[in-house]
Every structure is written in C-alpha cells, then in structure tokens.
Structure 1
Amino acid sequence: MSTTTDVTALAGRVRERLAARHPGVPFAELRTLPGGHSGLTYSMAAGPDSYVVKAVPPGQKPVGRNDVLRQAQVLRALAGSPVPVPEVFAVDEREPAWFAMEFVDGEAVEPVLDEHRLDPGLCRTRMLALAGVLRELHGTKTGITSELLDPAGELERWGRTMRAVPENLRPGAEELLSRLASMVPDGMPPTLTHGDFRLGNVLCRGERPAAVVDWEIWGLGDPRIDLGWFLLFADHRNFPRLGRPVPGLPTEEELLAAYTDGRTELPDLAWFRALARTKMAAIMGHNLRRHREGKHHDPDQERLPPTIAAMIRTALDILAQRS
C-alpha cells in the first residue's frame, strides 16, 4: 500500500523527467486513477497536457501484473502501428519503476456488463470496429520477444486456477478440463496478443477506438486465444445475473466475419470459445473464493455463481457440438 511519502517521492521523479517537455509550466499533484488493477495508476497534469503514470507498488517486485516496464515495452513497440495505443513519454527503471504515457480521453465501456446509457447502435459500431483492431494487432510485427502461449500451455495455466477453486463453486469443471485436454488443437503461428481484449479495455471516442489499454498480460501466442475471449462479450446471456441486454450488438458470427475480413476460416475456434469460458469461470471462482475467505471483502462477488456454472455448462455444450 502506498503512503503519502511514497506518492510525493514518485511525483518528484515524474516531474523531473517530464520537466523538459513543459518549461516554466507548473505540474499538478499525482491523483489516483480509479479502476486500476495492476501496480499503481495515477494521473498528472502539466498545463493543458495530462499523463497517466503507472508504477510498481513500493516494496513489491516488478513481476506479473506489476511489471510496468513490460507494459511500457509493448506500448512503445506498437507506436505508429495500426493499433491505437497511448504514447509513452518517460520510463524510469529505478526502483520502484514507473512510466508515464499520454492521457487519452475516451470511454471504456463493456456494453453487456457495465452500467451505461450509450446508444445500442453506437455499441454495435464500436464492437465491430474493435474486431478490425484485433485483426491489425495479430498482424503487427514488433520484434519484441516473450514466452510463447500455445493452446496446451493456456489450458494448463487456467486449469491450475480452476482447480484452486472449491469444487462446489465450479460444477462440471473437471469434466470440462478433461474434455479440453483430450481435444487440444494444433497451434497457429504466434502473434502479439493482448490477453484481455474487449471493449472494456479500449478507450473510444465516438464510433472509433482511440486507444487499447491495460496491457498487463500481453504475450506472443495463438491469436485464437484473444479472439475466443473477445467473442465472449457479444451476448449478455453468457453472464446470468450480471449481463445487461443491449439490442443489436453484433453476434459472434458477425464479429468473426469482421475479424477475418474474408480470410480463410479459422480452424478449431470452438475449442478456443470453450477455453475462454473456462478462463472466465476460473477467474470468477478465484475472486469469489477470495471474498469468502476474507482475503478481499466484496459482497458483489456473491452474484457470480450462476455465471460460473453457465460458463462451464456452455463450454461443454460447445465442445459437444464440435465432436
């Protein structure tokens, strides 16, 4: 947990690095940005310009979701590509490490999960546009390296997370994991993957995506991992007790058509759609377990069991149709 002293020290370091961009302009204080799920996330203004600052929490190691330098690396690698990302202006590797990027004005709304008053037609347009951004991401060559994420490795990773959840919270999970393991498809050539690609992680202005954000779990791997996850958010019925109906959202088939843009059909996509549901069930089960164990008190997690069960059930249905 950061202290006033920690924040003051970080603010001084940020001002020192950005001062040359704003000669004679006073900097505002660092302000915590709500909604950050990794490291520490702040905003800082210098005259009319604003920055987002992401930092490693004091006393913690820059690993996993706290590895802000890794996030800065992928953002810099994508600069100038067809994938819209915030521009990185400063990186400081000294402990605790941090980087500063432009503050992109826009809305990050997940239509079927977030409370919002957006026009359904706008939501549809944004989601179809985002399918094209995902296609561009998977076609972008950056030269950066990372551990490869193949289908078998992804299943092993999320299987461990699932099995850490009490059995009564994940009905049918063992059968699902067994079925997935018996049907692992061959991998496709690895591409750059976001890891959590959806409208809730994209700042939009009007109809267009302005910046893809939240790159904490990017990697190099099978593009169908990203695609299966993205398709999951097309239908509120995938999220019982959580989802909100949005008339006219594109179907999974429409999003897939927008992503492929007339290219050859992707093989074995059903397996990746089932994997995405497995991942969601595992994440929700993990969060619910932490709440019930008192590690992270959040009564809203008690709404999750119907969605966890539905994710597992529909994943099994998808695999049964593929057989």
Structure 2
Amino acid sequence: MSTATQVSELAVRVRDRLARRHPGAPIGELRTLPGGHSGLTYSVTAGDTKYVVKAVPPGQRPVGRNDVLRQARVLRALSGSAVPVPGVGAVDETQPAWFAMDFAAGEAVEPVLDEPEVPPATARARMLEIASVLRRLHDTDIRTPGLDAPEPLDAAGELERWSRTMHAVPAELRPGGEELVRRLADEVPGDQPPVLLHGDFRLGNVLCVGERAVAVVDWEIWSVGDPRIDLGWFLLFADHHNFPQLGRAVPGLPTEAELLDAYLDGRPALPAMDWFRALGRMKMAAIMGHNLRRHREGKHHDPDQERLPPTIAAMIRTARDILG
C-alpha cells in the first residue's frame, strides 16, 4: 500500500471520528504541520475547533517515538493538573494508531537558537516561568493512572545509553569525548526518588503566549526517573556560549543558577547537579555527532549539520570544565 493511500485512509478515519464528536460541523482536510520531529503531525479543523493529529508513520512499528498512544496517555494523565498540556480530543487505537489533541496557540521558541527572535525581557520571563512548570511536572504523583512506565531512568543508565551514542560517533568528531565519558563513569552519583520526566524539557517544547506557558508539548520520550536528568538538559539552553556558530546572545537571560533557584523555589539544593549538567552536554554532543555522521555518510542529507563541529567540541570541553 502506498504512503499516499495510507495517509488518505488516516484522513477518513480522523474525519469519521471527529464528525461523531462534532455532529453537523464541517471537518477540514488534514494538513501537515511543520516542525513535527517524529511521527506524523497534522492539523485539522472540526467546525471552529482546531486539533493537532499525531499518527504512527506508515509501515513503522508503534514503538519508541512512534508510540503515539503512549503520548496520549501522559497527556490524559496530566489533564487538569498543575502542568499545562493540550487536551486529548480523540484516540484511535486501531493500527496505525493516532490521536487528536487540542491545538494550543502560542510560540515554542528557544531564545538562543530559534527564529523568530523573542524580546529579551520576554525570553527571560518565559525561562523563569517554565522552571516553575518543570518543578510542578516533577511534583506530579507518578502513581497517577496512565503514568506507568518501565524501570526508572537513573544516572548510570542514562550515562550508559548516551555513552553508546557517543562511541558510535567517529573519534575526530568528538575531541575529548572519550575522557569525558570516562570521568562521568568515575563519579556516577546516587539517585534521587523518581519523578515524571519530560525527556526534552526546554522552551522549544513549551508553547507560550506572552510570558505565560500554555502547553508543554512533544512528549515522545517521557518516562519516570531522576529529576536531575530533566534539569541538566534544561539548563543547557540558558547560555548561547554553549552553541558556537549556532547560538545568539540574549541579554538578561537567566543564568543556570537563577533557573535552579526558580525550580527549587526555596527547597533544598539537589546534590551532584554539576554531574548532570556535564551529562546534558555530553548528550547534546552525542546527538549532534550522530546527526553529523548520518549526513556525512549520506543517510540524511542536511548540509546545515556541517555547522555542528564547534558546538560539539564546546559541549565536551565545558562538560569537562564543569567536572573540574
């Protein structure tokens, strides 16, 4: 069956389900939504209501990032909670599965990396705002129905996973990477009690209107585990110096220390945060190195990847500096 046929069949299924939910309302066409990083992402209207549809890509198994039902499950579990998420309007478990969530208007812009540029005062306010959103996310009761996850992510497991990715990158693309992995392995900290983790928490995955966060999106890799895994990643995006040739300076953006203070909100400091800050940088270097390798091997042509080597080197260098 061709991809076009499968997509048209998906459109029929979506139209039928939304027509039952909105009797008499005209159902619009499925339109590909730009910016979706995994799976298939569309927008569709039902009368005056607009939805985002996420579906398993044709011919692919509904696992990992393509497990859209798992994404719908976490959104439903968080509905009405202190964490702003889009509402789930429809779920179809028939394979290839899909779900429709409310379209949340707003900007998801990473200040030091993304276009359009956000006014510095707005960027600062948003980062401090989502630090408190992350706190509320981590305060979620992981016994909530729907939040059942496999074994919690811990520091040792995360290091092992990303070390494999790093080692798959040619050595010349990861200068100092071997020493960084070794030093992280020598100092693996004990674990904190597991919390709900987003997995890629940053402003690029939080829709904001003005200074207010209205929806945390892109839940493809949510899990439960050590809160410092989310935190170390989030803090990485506070400083454009981490992204040579990619990032831009944003005056007044909160420092990592300010974001940590906003997250803690008067609670005791978390131990070994420097290890997790270094781990976040190692993860970013591994991801960028993986993407650059795929481009150079012709597996995914994207000349923009050639801008990455200085940032990969900076991530590794600053991670080693953080470890002392």
- Per the TM superposition, whether the score is higher than 0.5 is yes
User: Among residues 138, 148, 155, which one is paired with 1:145 in the alignment?
Assistant: 148
Whether 2:300 is the aligned partner of 1:296: answer yes
SS of the equivalent of 2:52 reads strand
User: Among residues 255, 262, 274, which one is paired with 1:251 in the alignment?
Assistant: 255
User: Among residues 186, 196, 208, which one is paired with 1:192 in the alignment?
Assistant: 196
Query: Relative to structure 2, which stretch is displaced further, 236-245 or 15-24?
Result: 15-24
- Pairwise mapping of residues 53-132 of structure 1 onto structure 2 (< 5 A)? 53-132=53-132
What is the CA distance between 1:6 and its match in structure 2? Answer: 1.5
Instruction: Structure 1 unaligned segments of length 5 or more: list them.
Output: none
Map of 1:16 onto structure 2: 16
Distance 1:146 1:2 in 2: 34
Map of 2:45 onto structure 1: 45
Structure 1 counterpart of 2:294, which letter? R
Map of 2:213 onto structure 1: 209
What is the CA distance between 1:186 and its match in structure 2? Answer: 0.2
Distance 1:24 1:77 in 2: 30
Distance 1:130 1:207 in 2: 10
Structure 2 counterpart of 1:168, which letter? E
Map of 2:135 onto structure 1: 135
What is the CA distance between 1:104 and its match in structure 2? Answer: 0.5
Structure 1 counterpart of 2:221, which letter? I
Whether 2:60 is the aligned partner of 1:34: answer no
Whether 2:209 is the aligned partner of 1:183: answer no
What is the CA distance between 1:3 and its match in structure 2? Answer: 2.7
Structure 1 counterpart of 2:98, which letter? W
Cα pair 1:291 1:297 within 8 Å, conserved: yes
User: Among residues 221, 239, 245, which one is paired with 1:241 in the alignment?
Assistant: 245
Q: C-alpha deviations, 1:109-136, integer Å up to 9, x for none?
A: 0000012232110000000000000000
Distance 1:246 1:277 in 2: 20
SS of the equivalent of 1:265 reads coil
What is the CA distance between 1:10 and its match in structure 2? Answer: 0.6
What is the CA distance between 1:252 and its match in structure 2? Answer: 0.5
SS of the equivalent of 1:276 reads helix
Structure 2 counterpart of 1:28, which letter? G
Cα pair 2:111 2:117 within 8 Å, conserved: no
- What is the TM-score with the length of structure 2 in the denominator? 0.97
User: Among residues 312, 315, 319, which one is paired with 1:311 in the alignment?
Assistant: 315
The 3 A distance-change label for structure 1 pair 117 and 173 is: closer
What is the CA distance between 1:206 and its match in structure 2? Answer: 1.0
- What is the TM-score with the length of structure 1 in the denominator? 0.97
Structure 2 counterpart of 1:26, which letter? P
What is the CA distance between 1:142 and its match in structure 2? Answer: 4.1
Distance 2:13 2:21 in 1: 14
What is the CA distance between 1:7 and its match in structure 2? Answer: 1.7
Query: Relative to structure 2, which stretch is displaced further, 183-192 or 136-145?
Result: 136-145
SS of the equivalent of 2:295 reads helix
Structure 1 counterpart of 2:287, which letter? I
Instruction: Structure 2 unaligned segments of length 5 or more: list them.
Output: none
Q: C-alpha deviations, 1:225-271, integer Å up to 9, x for none?
A: 00010000001001001011111100001100000001001100000
SS of the equivalent of 1:186 reads coil
Map of 2:232 onto structure 1: 228
Map of 2:25 onto structure 1: 25
What is the CA distance between 1:78 and its match in structure 2? Answer: 0.6
